Amino acid sequence: MFHILSNAFNWRKKTQWLTLFVCGSFLIGCSSVPQAPLHSVEWQSHQQQLTDLSYYTLSGKMAYIGADDRQSLNFYWKRTPANTQLTLTTFLGQTALDLTFTNMGAKVVTYDGRTFTHPNANMLVKKLTGLSIPVKELSDWVKGMPTNADHYTVSNLNTLATLEKNVTGQDWAIQFDRYRDQISENNVNYVLPSSINMTHDDTRIKLSISKWLINQ
């Protein structure tokens, strides 16, 4: 696991109990927090605002539970019109993944300076880490957008509640558990997700977003 990218998980068997505890506690703790009260939004204008949002960063925790793998990771996500960057680090601060991608393809630079590329960001992450993460689709999902979803539902506050999407043969179900109000640098208010659950077969990914920074 992550053997191509770093030595971050060489100690995995010795600390497997700790990883399981962290992942389990993280998932249970996050799911027990009620959604913060928010004002309702107008669906069409809200989605247009999110479509126009192209300069932002967010960070938080990712819990990954698969059939053969469980990990608790920190994540950092940066979006600009030029590209998107996703960095995953272990709880010891070691970089597990440093991914940059655009609509044209994806690139990973390893801890020892090696570069790996692939036309599809999702497949590159799977190849290098063994983790099934729909990173390309996350560009819209982290904002609460159902872009090209096969099916989606809207909450009573007119925010995205759930969506279903087939991604390269994998059926993903996404649940948006909580949202938050976020003020941009230009003093514009956005309503953005702070907790997202993603499931596919035996895989479950929990994103807990602790910080948003909107640079527009």
pLDDT at 20: 40
Tens of pLDDT, residues 43-69 = 999 999 999 999 999 999 999 999 888
Question: In the predicted model, what is the mean pLDDT of residues 185-198?
Answer: 96
Return the ∠ at Cα 120 (arms to 116 and 121), rounded to 5°: 65
The residues spanned by each domain of the chain are: 16-34+47-213
Tens of pLDDT, residues 15-34 = 343 344 344 444 444 443 43
For 188, residues 6+ apart whose C-beta sits below 8 A from its C-beta are 214
Candidates 3.40.190.10, 2.90.10.10, 3.40.50.620, 2.50.20.10; CATH matching 16-34+47-213: 2.50.20.10
- The answer, yes or no, to whether residue 9 has pLDDT greater than 70, is no
pLDDT at 174: 99
- The answer, yes or no, to whether residue 81 has pLDDT greater than 80, is yes
pLDDT bin (cut points 50, 70, 90) of residue 216 is confident
Per-residue buried b or exposed e for 44-64, using 16+ beta carbons within 10 Å of the residue's own CB: eebbebbeebeebebebbbbb
Record the pTM.
0.84
Side chain identity at residue 15, one-letter code: T
Tens of pLDDT, residues 86-142 = 999 998 889 999 999 999 999 999 888 899 999 999 999 999 989 999 999 999 999
Task: Determine contact, residues 34/179, Cβ cutoff 8 Å.
Answer: no
Residue 201: C-alpha distances to residues 145, 170, 205 (Å):
22, 8, 11
Give, as one character, the DSSP assignment of residue 10. T
Q: What is the DSSP string of 103-121?
A: TTEEEEE-TTS-EEEES-H
